[in-house]
Structure 1
Amino acid sequence: MTNPAAIRLTLHKSALAGMQARPKSLARALAYQAEEEGPEAVAHATEEDFQDVLYTSHSTDQLVELWRKQLTQWDYAENPGWTETDPRTDERRGAVLDLLGLSEETKKLLVALVPVPRAAGQVVIATERTPWYTPQSQQGRTWYWPAYRRLLTEKGWPETGIASLDAASDSVVAHLADPTSAEAYQSKGLVVGYVQSGKTANFTGVIAKAIDAGYRLVIVLGGTLNLLRAQTQRRLDMELVGRENILRGAAEYESDYADDPAWSKGKFLTHGGLPSALGGFDIVRMTTRDNDYKSLLQGIVALEFEKQEPALPLHDPRNLHRSSARLMVVKKNKSVLTKLVKDLNKIKTPLSEIPVLIIDDESDEASVNTANPNKPDAERTAINQKISELLGMLPRAQYVGYTATPFANVFVDPSDTEDIFPKDFIVSLPRPTGYMGVQDFHDLDSPLPPEERTFANSNERAHVRDIHLASGEDDTALQQAMDMFVLTAAMKLYREANGLGDRYFQHHTMLIHESVRTAAHRELLGRVAQLWWNSGYTGPSGRERLRELFETDLAPVSHVRADGHATPSSYDELAPYIGAAAIRIGGDDQPIIVVNGDKDIETGEADFDKRSIWKILIGGQKLARGFTVEGLTVTYYRRRTNNASTLMQMGRWFGFRKGYQDLVRLYLGREEAMGNKDIDLYEAFEAICLDEETFREQLRQYAEPVDGKPQVTPAQVPPLVSQHLSWLPPASANKMYNAELLEIRSPGKPIEPAAYPTKAAAIKRNTERWRPLLDLLSTEPIAFTSRPSSTTKARTFKALTGRVAHGELVGLFAQLEWERPGHFAPHLTYLSQLDGSLAKVEDWLVIAPQLSSGSVEASILGSMPLSLVRRSRQPGKVSFGRIAGLEHRNVAQTLIDDVDTQPTIGGPGQLMTPARGVVLLYPVVEGTSQLDVRAAAPDGVADPSCIIMACTLFAPKSANDQARQLVRFRTKDSSHRFDAIIPQAG
């Protein structure tokens, strides 16, 4: 008798295959398939049979995996025609199960075995376009996307990861122009990912779908260095082009990958034959792994596009879908791009007929025009000029930039039609599951005081080790980093031998990055080599250092963060692997690889594709952008830079660390003097994280359509970029201009003014303006209790309170002086409208927290005694750090959020109404110690010239109009190049 499980699996596989466009009645689909399969299948073609099997199924059973794949695709589908529910929600899953016609019991069983994925999706800011990329338009024409999807499945990608990539790449392709359209249109867009987070996978998916849809020339701008271009070429050849397109009838040994282990191991995609012979179409490579684009001979035949119908244009579907695609991966190099432009001008196929896709990897580097915008006769920079020429000569070219640091791109002049500003769309990719990014090395807004942080609850304590550079050139920290590198190598060998099964750590690396100068690398090579050979890893002195480091650092971190991976209980259990680790790193007498282009000191090849690498890498610019350092576990980083985009790209320690995330260590420079500014690299990376997460969150906030139309277009995005450190602007100065932010609406969200005045006279005038409000405060404090969370306890504090009319508060803010007047203006514009044109705000609850015993209290201009708060401005900053205490913010947010339930968070009486906001008020004394506070208030009376009245505002959630637009912009004309709106560091 035929296996019932096999019959059932075949039936369900066939039934689901017929539902790719939309979910349909499962009962009817199974019944139809049973007729095709024969009498034995009928008994297994019912929902009752399916339900019986689900009762005893496990999440890894074949039938469940089949359903997981299909349900996940439906869960992630963006704007499908069969439902208006949001992706990855219970409502979406409910709509799917209803369309399948399943009983309530079967629904429950399926949801239990295949839970609804909760991962965030991509965020899209785009202009309105007529939809063209639909499942119906692609019917029967997909070839390369299904092949790529199959490869990812074989590589072990989870179905949710593939579905996320599918949805995100769909979002990009849908905003390109229809390649078959009679009218030419040139889209320009930007895709924002995270550093080393899978952007290449996304644009590989985009290329696959684009060429399936009809794009026939794909130009990938693969970085500014040969090794980056080659890395991208290999990835596309392996995962998209495939063996048959690479060989094109040649023998295996003739392939340019004949010496690549992945080629011989069968890891390159295979189509089962030349695609054109199997009903598909071929990809013709114009570049190879070792060869960038070169001028073509023989009449540029290789670039000529074949037409089945010569009288029709190439973009006509009757030609387009029977023509091969051309792919080239070229370096951002003036001479290379000049050759390409020259050759394209020679081909016979009219350039106006060719649908072209230009993918610009690391698009914020070299591609952006950095010529001085203040000079009217300034010429474009070289690479930007060549990209502009390509776009000018290819009217059907679509430009898509990819970057993890988007600030340079969104600050391009929107009115410059020849430039690369993403006028049509910006797609922000979600943070992938398993990705180790900047958040994983920082404790952003942690409520825990430093003394309560542990390896378990603090990312910084677990992964970051300080290099206090002010102490000079002592190599103690560098030696410890190298010891950690050997220890973690031993840990990987231990895990290979204990429970990882076929898991194999092919690469294990340490990166040392101190400078981009090759001369510095020469000196560093000598230092590191001497440390290595004197380390004594096979002798007693080295072993004692390793034992201490294991017991004080590696073991306690892994004990709480190993996530189930094997961890030795003692150093003695790990010790047998130490020698093997040291030999694997330095057994060939070359433990160090220098990657900087200096042939005299380069000591090996950092080609992770050709061999297993367990080495220490020393480098600068070559290893600082785009290039993936595989197996990176320990980083020793001291490199300085002057803007956030460049610094973020240095973070090679970001990426996927499957099986060894607990072993990752970052040795980072702290408190380094540079001129008159104290530079703390850890603080700098934290500020970048805040900048970028704020940018992404605002994109997400504004991506929601209002009345079916976009709230903002890409041209209105630049003002959303923030800057948390004055010495670290988001991008270089000549990329930040030409946009003006008029208003920021923040219903239900905190507004914390900054840029308070620094001069005593202005401070005094501001304090005097606050006097009427101070007179409204109560004489007796009331108690407030913050809401507890999973990481914090409830905290109680007392505060004086009062109520102030909305018009009075806005009038006060209109009079205040600021060190940077434009900083608060967009918020004041919003607040000024809350008396009528927006949802009306009647008044504000003022809360002046009283600090714990021991604090200084003083009367300000005759007010009740108030607790004075000490805050200090960091060198070079005009604003303080966060003013409001976390428990105070917690209380204010709860009052706003729970206004309808009348929270009993405060004292007697009704504290809140739906039309009431909250003001947290703090009299701030600028200083570094309590002595400064006491000096500002002798005998309990404050000197108003020393008191900065600071606050945090929470407008009611209802404080918006029906349109729900959260932001208003005005984009300046490019003739106003002299009016920079974002302050420059200086």
Structure 2
Amino acid sequence: MTDHLFNLHGDVLASLRRGPKAFARLALAHSESDEPADIDLGHFRDRLVAAGPGDELVALWHRTLTAWDLAEQTDWSDAPARTDARRTDILDRLGFGADLRKALDEAVPVFKEPGATVISKEFTSWYSRDAAAARAFYWNSYEQTLRGKGWSDAAVSSLDEASHAVVERLSDPTRTEAYGSRGLVVGYVQSGKTANFTGVTAKAIDAGYRLVIILGGTLNLLRGQTQRRLDMELIGRENILRGTDPADTDALIGVDYQDDEDWPAKFVSHGGRPSTLGSFDIERLTTRDNDYKSLETGIRALEFDKQDRTQPLYSPDNLHHAAARVMVVKKNSSVLAKLIKDLKKIGPILSEVPTLIIDDESDQASVNTTDPKKWEDGKVARKAINGQITQLLGLLPRAQYVGYTATPFANVFVDPGDEEDIFPRDFLISLPRPTGYMGVQDFHDLESDGTAEETHVRGIYDDTGDRLQEALDAFVLTGALKLYRADRDVPAGPFRHHTMLVHESVQQREHAALALRINSMWHRSAYTGQEGHARLSALLASDFQRFADDGLPTPMSYDDLRPYVSRARQLINSGGEPVIIVNGATERDYEQAELDFDRTPHVWKILVGGTKLSRGFTIEGLTVTYYRRLAQQADTLMQMGRWFGFRPGYRDLVRLYIGREEPMGKKKTVDLYEAFEAICRDEETFRAQLTRYATLVDGKPQITPAQIPPLVSQHLSWLKPAARNKMFNAELVEIRSPGQPIEPAAYPADAAATRRNTERWRPLLNALGSAPVTLTNPSDNTSSLSRNFSALTATISHAELVSLLSALEWDRPELFRPHLTYLAQLDGRLATVDEWLVIVPQLSRSNRTEASILGSVPLSLARRSRQAGKAVFGRISGVEHRTSAQRLINGPGSVDISVSPTTGVMLLYPVVESQNDADTSAAAPHGVADPSKVTMAFTLIPPKSAIDSTRQLLRFQAKDSSHARDVFVTTKSS
């Protein structure tokens, strides 16, 4: 039976590509039906109200309204995207009445989740929605593929918007003057970045980009995963076969994917070769199993035919008839060298080829990690991969570079002034957290009551044992629960893969020992006997039933699950052992059939490994993670968070066993869960700052990527944003020290500068009282220190202190500047400090030299020496003095003095640079100190309350070699 209403609405909505207009008038113009009800909006409303699941008309309107709701830039509405105001504007323009509006809003609620955040230079608009729709062959195929995989309308529309935002900031491929833009797209770990750059690739080649180079990881395993994904979802059967008859089995020998169980059913079909359907073909220069090779056929494949040889390739007459070339290339020096060598042979036409270079995991291998201090004659020395990427960009002047990463800190620290490098000078786009993604909020209770941690996280403490047996039991039990749910037709089932990750060390020898231990534990676990079943039954009751998703089937008793336990055990033990070791230094170490999630029907295994499992590689079906490896760089640690990702049908079964007391150095332990929470806060702070500055003001960007203010922060002092060799260009701009000592030591050695500094302390010196007070350090269980001392004191307002400190001169001002940036914000912007208690300790009488400084009361001079060969002093404050000051900050520490929660403490020392009493006396003849020989040195301890809610401790920015003396950006506080 023909659905006249659906057909009519489809025609009308197809004509509204540029935005909503009066629907009834257009319906009348399009109607060819004799049924007057088809153009009756009341009939449409009744259909909406009565519609059941799967109604095609509702689905059509869901797609359309969601796309209009999410459209970020339109010429038909001033209302913000993703708001009720935008929806109201849409329905007004359609001319719908109150009843129909209500029915539509109920059928298609407004999608209000945030979209991508964009920091961008101003750019010339060339990729309008009309232009995108006019040439959308591959995007339309990709969109339909995503919908066929079950993507929601909101998810597809969000991807459409985010990928459009990338492509419109690339250079117009038909532009006469060559320009290569540089951009960075920031996603979340295991959050679908590949889907975004596949969408970008589809839109870019539709628009005219004819060479796409995707740098796809550092291993064949990773490169092959990316190649297969593109082949399956974008390039398609016809481009893979290149005219080969799919029924001719002899002709198909050697063609990709003949051994792939998803071929050809799950590979997109375009309905014929695209070039015969009015579009153009895609020629693959790499395949699933073959990286780029230096062959004559490869060179010829890179040559582009022109319809009009008198015009350049980028002329529209040539461009839109030429085939696109796509290659997925491993980030390997020898492979890239072959590609560069072949490109050089092609000659001048390279300057005519609109090229897109997508760099997956762009903070790995791509960033230059040479030390600028070792460069000769000011020339940049580059690591191999970074140098080859810059060569590609030089050979291809129309090349656009877009990096993708979940850990962007190393990319942000690239020198913006190096025109040949990969700093994202044109745009930086932060992707939203996708619907259905398990991420930070699911494992860390950043702002809630602890339910996330209770549900998914199982801490490993000294007094709990290593809990490895429990983790192994959880793996078997969750496998059984997946099988139980699959039998009850859970939409996400059947669950093809089921995996456990064990990550304790980076050392390969330790992996072998750990795998042996797990195998032995497996065979002793008695999963076929009473003891094993008793453990599993208890774990089901105490854990998995307690936190089960109410919307998913979970057995009421272990007896109902027991048959599935047997099947799960068999699947995990297939091949004789449950463990696969994933490590090694060569490609051969990764060519394990059981590790190929694409070609293997079922991977139900425990994976033991280290670094090679912590970046790019997707561990399908990951349910239980046992993690105890320490890393001291935030990006490295975050990439190990393989437990983040999409877990449809088994979110409630995911468990993370993580070390809470792991050793680091002498007598020090680290809470890995706390470390992950800290870097999660670092990332959330970074994204929040991007969002703050992304809003246009008077239609113009507030800042450009090269002007990004200090956005990279650090919440734990020992956990750096990136490895040291990725931070040569990082500049520390703020150090926040609530409750912690700040002790600058790089005071000027020049007598004139010392005198000027001392003069600046005059008001404070004059305010010191003449009556000393006694401070004590009562002994307790943590310290044997019980020494008392006397001191002179004064109180100074916070504003006066900051003014004084801002005027001081330093031998190395960059060392104190990050502290001063922090202190200056304690006027209520970051937190509030009202005043400072100044303590000037007096030395014991036996070795005390007293002198007046600029007319002050007599002060006890302290002897200090500078470090050998350096301008900085070795130390400033005495241990007993700092201990007492810290007690005042921490709470009652002195019988004579108390400080409020908004009062800081300063220890102030008149320092004479000397080794003996004679030098000290010489600096103060007749009890009057020479201001040019006395350094007023200090230690500050801000109150513990001197921090904002983010708790971030450090902030960084990148140095710009082309504007070495410029402030990046001046922003008004909000």
Residue identity opposite 2:451 in structure 1: S
State whether structure 2 residue 605 is matched by structure 1 residue 606: no
State whether structure 2 residue 947 is matched by structure 1 residue 973: no
Secondary structure, counterpart of 1:444 in structure 2: coil
Residue identity opposite 1:340 in structure 2: L
State whether structure 2 residue 727 is matched by structure 1 residue 712: no
Residue pairs, 1:489-568, within 5 angstroms: 489-500=479-490, 503-558=493-548, 562-568=549-555
Could you tell me which of 219, 222, 241 is aligned with 1:228? 222
Residue identity opposite 1:579 in structure 2: S
Residue pairs, 1:398-409, within 5 angstroms: 398-409=400-411
Kindly provide the CA deviation profile for residues 213-257 of structure 1, in whole angstroms up to 9, marking residues without a partner as x.
000000000000110000000000000000000001224452310
Per the TM alignment, residue 812 of structure 1 is displaced from its structure 2 partner at its CA by 4.3
* Contact 2:182/2:427, CA 8 A, preserved across alignment: yes
Per the alignment, residue 452 of structure 1 pairs with none
Per the alignment, residue 938 of structure 1 pairs with 895
Secondary structure, counterpart of 1:565 in structure 2: coil
Per the alignment, residue 459 of structure 1 pairs with 452
* Contact 2:685/2:713, CA 8 A, preserved across alignment: yes
Could you tell me which of 174, 189, 207 is aligned with 2:183? 189
Could you tell me which of 673, 685, 699 is aligned with 1:682? 673
Secondary structure, counterpart of 1:722 in structure 2: strand
Residue identity opposite 2:563 in structure 1: P
Q: 2-side partners of 1:711 and 1:227: how far apart?
A: 42
Per the alignment, residue 143 of structure 1 pairs with 137
Per the TM alignment, residue 52 of structure 1 is displaced from its structure 2 partner at its CA by 3.0
Secondary structure, counterpart of 2:714 in structure 1: coil
Residue identity opposite 1:368 in structure 2: V
Per the alignment, residue 309 of structure 1 pairs with 308
* Contact 1:592/1:603, CA 8 A, preserved across alignment: no
* Contact 1:755/1:823, CA 8 A, preserved across alignment: no
State whether structure 2 residue 628 is matched by structure 1 residue 627: no
**Distance of aligned partners of 1:761 and 1:515 in 2 relative to their CA distance in 1, 3 Å threshold:** closer
Secondary structure, counterpart of 1:408 in structure 2: helix
Q: 2-side partners of 1:69 and 1:674: how far apart?
A: 53
Secondary structure, counterpart of 1:480 in structure 2: helix
Per the alignment, residue 161 of structure 2 pairs with 167
Kindly provide the CA deviation profile for residues 663-708 of structure 1, in whole angstroms up to 9, marking residues without a partner as x.
1111112222222443221111011101000000000000012222
State whether structure 2 residue 350 is matched by structure 1 residue 351: yes
Q: 2-side partners of 1:185 and 1:600: how far apart?
A: 42
* Contact 1:752/1:951, CA 8 A, preserved across alignment: no
Per the alignment, residue 62 of structure 1 pairs with 56
Per the alignment, residue 84 of structure 2 pairs with 90
Per the alignment, residue 256 of structure 1 pairs with 256
Secondary structure, counterpart of 2:24 in structure 1: helix
* Contact 2:713/2:956, CA 8 A, preserved across alignment: no
Return 113-122 or 324-333, whichever deviates more: 113-122
Per the alignment, residue 438 of structure 2 pairs with 436
Residue pairs, 1:713-732, within 5 angstroms: 713-717=704-708, 719-732=710-723
Secondary structure, counterpart of 1:432 in structure 2: coil
Per the alignment, residue 109 of structure 1 pairs with 103
* Contact 1:924/1:950, CA 8 A, preserved across alignment: no
Question: Tell me, which stretches of 5 or more residues in structure 2 are unaligned?
Answer: 747-759, 768-795, 809-813, 837-882, 908-939, 949-954, 970-974
* Contact 2:826/2:832, CA 8 A, preserved across alignment: no
Secondary structure, counterpart of 1:557 in structure 2: coil
**Over the residues paired in the alignment, what is the CA RMSD in angstroms?**
3.6
Q: 2-side partners of 1:269 and 1:197: how far apart?
A: 22
Per the TM alignment, residue 737 of structure 1 is displaced from its structure 2 partner at its CA by 5.0
**Distance of aligned partners of 1:45 and 1:338 in 2 relative to their CA distance in 1, 3 Å threshold:** same
Per the alignment, residue 898 of structure 1 pairs with none
Per the alignment, residue 286 of structure 1 pairs with 285
Kindly provide the CA deviation profile for residues 478-500 of structure 1, in whole angstroms up to 9, marking residues without a partner as x.
11111100010111111112352
**Distance of aligned partners of 1:735 and 1:976 in 2 relative to their CA distance in 1, 3 Å threshold:** farther
* Contact 2:502/2:627, CA 8 A, preserved across alignment: yes
TM-score by length of 2: 0.78
Per the TM alignment, residue 933 of structure 1 is displaced from its structure 2 partner at its CA by 4.2
Per the alignment, residue 964 of structure 1 pairs with none
State whether structure 2 residue 641 is matched by structure 1 residue 651: yes
Residue identity opposite 2:360 in structure 1: D
Return 638-647 or 239-248, whichever deviates more: 638-647
Per the alignment, residue 52 of structure 1 pairs with 46
State whether structure 2 residue 576 is matched by structure 1 residue 592: no
Per the TM alignment, residue 429 of structure 1 is displaced from its structure 2 partner at its CA by 0.1
Per the TM alignment, residue 520 of structure 1 is displaced from its structure 2 partner at its CA by 1.8
Q: 2-side partners of 1:673 and 1:844: how far apart?
A: 36
Secondary structure, counterpart of 1:291 in structure 2: coil
Per the alignment, residue 660 of structure 1 pairs with 650
**Distance of aligned partners of 1:847 and 1:260 in 2 relative to their CA distance in 1, 3 Å threshold:** farther
**Distance of aligned partners of 1:658 and 1:353 in 2 relative to their CA distance in 1, 3 Å threshold:** same
Residue identity opposite 2:738 in structure 1: A
Per the alignment, residue 19 of structure 2 pairs with 22
Kindly provide the CA deviation profile for residues 110-130 of structure 1, in whole angstroms up to 9, marking residues without a partner as x.
112211111100000010111
**Distance of aligned partners of 1:603 and 1:225 in 2 relative to their CA distance in 1, 3 Å threshold:** closer
Kindly provide the CA deviation profile for residues 611-638 of structure 1, in whole angstroms up to 9, marking residues without a partner as x.
2111111122221100000000001112
State whether structure 2 residue 238 is matched by structure 1 residue 247: no
Q: 2-side partners of 1:181 and 1:587: how far apart?
A: 58
Per the alignment, residue 471 of structure 2 pairs with 481
Residue identity opposite 1:301 in structure 2: R
Instruction: From the CA coordinates, give the structure whose radius of gyration is larger.
Output: 2
Q: 2-side partners of 1:831 and 1:517: how far apart?
A: 45
State whether structure 2 residue 690 is matched by structure 1 residue 699: yes
Kindly provide the CA deviation profile for residues 795-814 of structure 1, in whole angstroms up to 9, marking residues without a partner as x.
xxxxxxxxxxxx96533444
Per the alignment, residue 618 of structure 1 pairs with 608
Secondary structure, counterpart of 2:713 in structure 1: coil
Per the alignment, residue 757 of structure 1 pairs with 741
Per the alignment, residue 395 of structure 1 pairs with 397
Could you tell me which of 170, 179, 188 is aligned with 1:176? 170
Per the alignment, residue 367 of structure 1 pairs with 366
Residue identity opposite 1:142 in structure 2: A
What is the percent sequence identity of the aligned residues?
Answer: 54
Per the alignment, residue 383 of structure 2 pairs with 381
* Contact 1:738/1:973, CA 8 A, preserved across alignment: no
**Distance of aligned partners of 1:924 and 1:324 in 2 relative to their CA distance in 1, 3 Å threshold:** farther
Q: 1-side partners of 2:139 and 2:307: how far apart?
A: 24
* Contact 2:736/2:822, CA 8 A, preserved across alignment: no
Residue pairs, 1:186-225, within 5 angstroms: 186-225=180-219
Q: 2-side partners of 1:279 and 1:393: how far apart?
A: 31
**Distance of aligned partners of 1:389 and 1:769 in 2 relative to their CA distance in 1, 3 Å threshold:** same
Question: Tell me, which stretches of 5 or more residues in structure 1 are unaligned?
Answer: 449-456, 744-750, 773-806, 835-840, 849-922, 956-966, 982-986
* Contact 1:513/1:638, CA 8 A, preserved across alignment: yes
Q: 1-side partners of 2:551 and 2:258: how far apart?
A: 39
* Contact 1:522/1:601, CA 8 A, preserved across alignment: no
Kindly provide the CA deviation profile for residues 172-215 of structure 1, in whole angstroms up to 9, marking residues without a partner as x.
00110000001111100000000000000000000000000000
Residue identity opposite 2:153 in structure 1: E
Q: 2-side partners of 1:725 and 1:832: how far apart?
A: 24
Q: 1-side partners of 2:109 and 2:365: how far apart?
A: 44
Residue identity opposite 2:328 in structure 1: V
* Contact 1:684/1:725, CA 8 A, preserved across alignment: yes
Per the TM alignment, residue 29 of structure 1 is displaced from its structure 2 partner at its CA by 1.7
Return 418-427 or 246-255, whichever deviates more: 246-255
Per the TM alignment, residue 567 of structure 1 is displaced from its structure 2 partner at its CA by 1.1
Per the alignment, residue 9 of structure 1 pairs with 6
Per the TM alignment, residue 162 of structure 1 is displaced from its structure 2 partner at its CA by 0.2
* Contact 1:352/1:395, CA 8 A, preserved across alignment: yes
Return 127-136 or 400-409, whichever deviates more: 127-136
Per the alignment, residue 887 of structure 1 pairs with none
Per the TM alignment, residue 726 of structure 1 is displaced from its structure 2 partner at its CA by 1.4
Secondary structure, counterpart of 2:467 in structure 1: helix
Could you tell me which of 128, 149, 153 is aligned with 1:155? 149
Per the TM alignment, residue 440 of structure 1 is displaced from its structure 2 partner at its CA by 1.3
Return 77-86 or 314-323, whichever deviates more: 77-86
Q: 2-side partners of 1:494 and 1:333: how far apart?
A: 44
Secondary structure, counterpart of 1:642 in structure 2: coil
Per the alignment, residue 78 of structure 1 pairs with 72
